[in-house]
Amino acid sequence: MKHAMHRIITCVLCVFCLAMPVVAQDLDEIVQAKLRPGWRMAKGTHMAALQLDLASGWKTYWRQPGDSGLAPHFDFSQSEGVQTVEVVYPTPEVSWLGSSRNIGYDTQVIFPLQLSVDDTAGITLIGRIEIGVCRELCIPITLDLSAQLSAQAPVDLLIETARAAVPKPGAGKLTCAFSAAEDGMKLEIIVPSFELAFDHAAIELGNQRLWVDTPKLERQDRRLIVTTQIMTPTGQPMAIGRDGVTTTLFSPNGAIEYRGCLGA
């Protein structure tokens, strides 16, 4: 598991050891951000979005950024007239930089925001968004944005396109098994049957203190076996709820997402 620790250290160095030309570059030249105010849906629901436009060669990250990079963090708690916000993640791209796998977006990404709102006219979406933008090195950026939300605005087709690009829900339940391993645990997930040529997987455990290594995929008799190593804070096995295991499988034609898994 030493390679996983190396990747964690690499990520920390990537964030804090910035090259002088990158620091000197105006951040406005790297990323442009805005809130798309969207439109009112069924009573009590409003669809808005965060749009990020990135300069050539720069990228930002999915909620599971891969071996390095920074997952985005969204805080809309200061909004007025907004009760809850659900961030929707379009299917990201998987790429490699040497032996390091990155999962994220380049050029442009639109994160739809599904809001539960008060049934009033005066609604203000106020967000503090923390993201990492990377080229050779990564820069952590904090964005403070706000937008007035109108109940009479038309449907935003760019947001609708982003909503249609999310991973599709997987049919049925996966089975999974945890076992002890060096520096933590091993997780094996079995996909009983598949039709798409999956070439990548991402596993999330709902616990930021756990490091999940890049999963390995193996095909056996119409089954897809996904295995990964989990590094725990103590280096010893610990209880992990199967309901919190999210498995996303990527193919050239899209992605499928499974929530939870059953005991093997």
pLDDT bucket at 195, cuts 50 / 70 / 90 = low
Q: What is the 3-state secondary structure (H, E, C) of the chain?
A: CHHHHHHHHHHHHHHHCCCHHHHHCCHHHCEEEEEEEEEECCCCEEEEEEEEEECCCCEEEEEEEECCCCCCEEECCCCECEEEEEECCCCCEEEEECCEEEEEEECEEEEEEEEEECCCCCEEEEEEEEEEEECCCEEEEEEEEEEEECCCCCCCHHHHHHHHCCCEECCCCEEEEEEEECCEEEEEEEECCCCCCCCEEEEECCCCCCEECCCEEEEECCEEEEEEEEECCCCCCCCCCHHHCEEEEEECCEEEEEECEEEC
pLDDT in tens, 146-177: 999 998 899 999 999 999 999 999 988 899 99
pLDDT bucket at 12, cuts 50 / 70 / 90 = very low
pTM, two decimals, is 0.87
State the pLDDT at residue 4: 39
pLDDT at 20 over 60: no
Give the tokens for residue 150: 């109108």
Over pLDDT 70: what percentage of the chain? 89
Question: Are the CB atoms for 46 and 81 separated by under 8 Å?
Answer: no
State the pLDDT at residue 39: 96
pLDDT at 22 over 70: no
Question: Are the CB atoms for 70 and 12 separated by under 8 Å?
Answer: no
pLDDT in tens, 230-248: 999 999 999 999 999 999 9
Give the pLDDT mean for 4-21: 40
| φ, ψ at 252 (rounded to 5°) | -60, -20
Structural domains in the chain, sorted by start:
26-164 (2.60.40.1250), 168-263 (2.60.40)
d(CA 231, CA 211): 5
